Structure 1
Amino acid sequence: MLRPKNEDEKPKQSMFAQFARIFGISMTMLYIAMGIFIMFASEKLSLDIPNSMRYGLGGILILYGIVRFVRVYNSTRSNRNRYED
């Protein structure tokens, strides 16, 4: 038997959706941290990477981390809007 839907009652997200959101956020932080590490910490580790390549690769990783964050944020927001309707 169907029961009336309460206004305060929101459907719960599945375990997979929660895991995907947490995984996406953690990968975002990892990419940004790797970019910062490559840009600044490789001097102290004396890696033989030219400066232009270090800053280019670090910048690409940081930009990719930002793009991933925007995608995770938009998908989370669109899922919330779908459940509110």
Structure 2
Amino acid sequence: MLTSTITSTSAVSSAAGAISMTTGTGLPEYGVLAVIALIALLSVKEILSASEKWSIDLNHSLNMGIGPLLLAFTAIVVFKVAEIIY
């Protein structure tokens, strides 16, 4: 597994002392929204599949939203596990 951690450090001297700022690259903090959207779409798909409104077109439409969110969820899990391990 290849993970990349890039940090940039900046230090500014002033009369009061030095200030250090570090930023890390990775997944944005809004990953929770992607997980919530994935859960919502999966719930809607499950509920609608049992109703009379279900059609193959509706199935394909929901899958177009679920697929990328599932990929994002997988990436979030992998990065969080890698963050804990390393």
In which range does the TM-score fall when normalised by the shorter chain?
0.3 to 0.5
More helix by share: 1
Structure 1 or 2: more strand by fraction: 2
Select the structure with the greater relative contact order (CA < 8 A; seq sep ≥ 6): 1
TM-score (norm 1): 0.45
TM-score w.r.t. the length of structure 2 is 0.44
